A = this chain, B = another copy of it.
């Protein structure tokens, strides 16, 4: 067990921070609540971005860049929206050496300013749909910051679309939720539950919010991404009107959807262990590291290093990128070298010592299981990618199993409380309560409705809290 990492059983919060520090993923910035994403952490974000961005483009979306600063008055145009975001805003009052006439908000999200622009760009039904995404930074002032999970500034993508009909907008909202699910499951190895948010958890200004919820290794829930059907709320607030085919003027229907760097927190808390970071191979910027080892400088230089370079080139080619590196930290002991890669979550360590060299093979060590496999040099270009696929599958399967094992059903509030006290995890229960009742449950148990899951959506039953019949199935949990 790593000395620089507090075991998660002892102190989960400290374990989380220790894993981040040991992998050099992030650091607090000098401004309270803000974060620096160090190269190891940022490279993961680049991988994550690539998968989502490809999926967005594959579904017909294009990227754009909207401004960082928003006039304060914009926020107030949508009543629920301003109520939700005003308390978290950072405000620019001076610029260019002068006091501004109107204070400017650093965007907490961009529905307002994008709504304003869309109203200029949309005239006719031919201008619709607009399918735009942006990757950017946003700011929501945070009193209790936590690296990746809650920081005053964070990086994210926000998709904003406008449509001629309600049907089309709802379809888009659900399409993007499914894109999220797919990338999260296939690439990030996060098995998520798709569902609809309850009234109390809805995005301020949305008619409906849909979510992908996932379980961390402390059994708490994390909202990994949300997709909002905004109805005509923002179209009316910002006057996004168009002339329809029949000549009549109509308000557009809009959607928005986002995932953020908090996904990196989710990856850490889903997969990592007491030795440090564990990364699913598909999002690992370094998928394999070759570790040449010898006490003989001559053997290293003349035999082992040239072979390592050759293997690296062949692996980079078969993996399609700069995904393999060679460890040249010869001033460190082999054990310490191994350990440094362990802590950075490199999925596969490929040891190349004198014994391996003589036998023309590599000794592969899996980060997820610690399992050791000998791979002949001649097989490496096919065996390594196959092994990485296996690790990917194992991590996702393990997380799914963990979630299933820690999901329980409750029929009454008594049972509900007992499960949360004794075991934690997800509680499945029929729920027919309102926003007020959500709040009451949270006050007693700390748990909130994470979603009404899409699976077996039609099922109805008696509400565990109010006793009302015809209630929908919900999942409750304590959440990040």
Interface residues of A, Cβ cutoff 8 Å to B: 27, 29-31, 34-39, 41-43, 45-46, 57, 62-71, 74, 86-97, 103-104, 106, 113, 116-117, 120-121, 132, 136-137, 139, 141-143, 152-153, 155, 322
Distance (whole angstroms) from the CB of A48 to the closest CB of chain B:
13
What is the oligomeric copy number?
Answer: 2
Residues in B neighbouring A74, C-beta threshold 8 A: 30
Task: Using CB atoms, name the residue of chain B closest to A329.
Answer: B126
The contact sample of 16 A-B pairs, CB cut-off 8 A, is A29-B113, A30-B67, A30-B70, A30-B74, A31-B70, A34-B68, A34-B69, A35-B67, A41-B64, A42-B63, A45-B65, A87-B96, A88-B96, A95-B141, A96-B143, A136-B137
Distance (whole angstroms) from the CB of A204 to the closest CB of chain B:
16
Residues in B neighbouring A41, C-beta threshold 8 A: 64
Residues in B neighbouring A89, C-beta threshold 8 A: 95-96
| A65:B113 contact, CB within 8 angstroms | no
Give Cα distance in the complex from A352 to B89, angstroms.
54
Known: A66-B29, A116-B30. A95 touches B104 (CB 8 A): no
Which of B27, B67, B142 is in CB contact (< 8 Å) with A29? B67
Give Cα distance in the complex from A155 to B65, angstroms.
9
Report the 4 A-B pairs with minimum CB-CB distance, sorted nearest first: A96-B141, A39-B62, A29-B67, A37-B65
Distance (whole angstroms) from the CB of A51 to the closest CB of chain B:
16
Residues in B neighbouring A29, C-beta threshold 8 A: 66-67, 113, 117
| B90:A92 contact, CB within 8 angstroms | yes
Residues in B neighbouring A63, C-beta threshold 8 A: 39, 42-43, 46
Task: Using CB atoms, name the residue of chain B closest to A86.
Answer: B97
Which of B68, B90, B103 is in CB contact (< 8 Å) with A153? B68
Residues in B neighbouring A69, C-beta threshold 8 A: 31, 34, 90, 153
| B92:A64 contact, CB within 8 angstroms | no
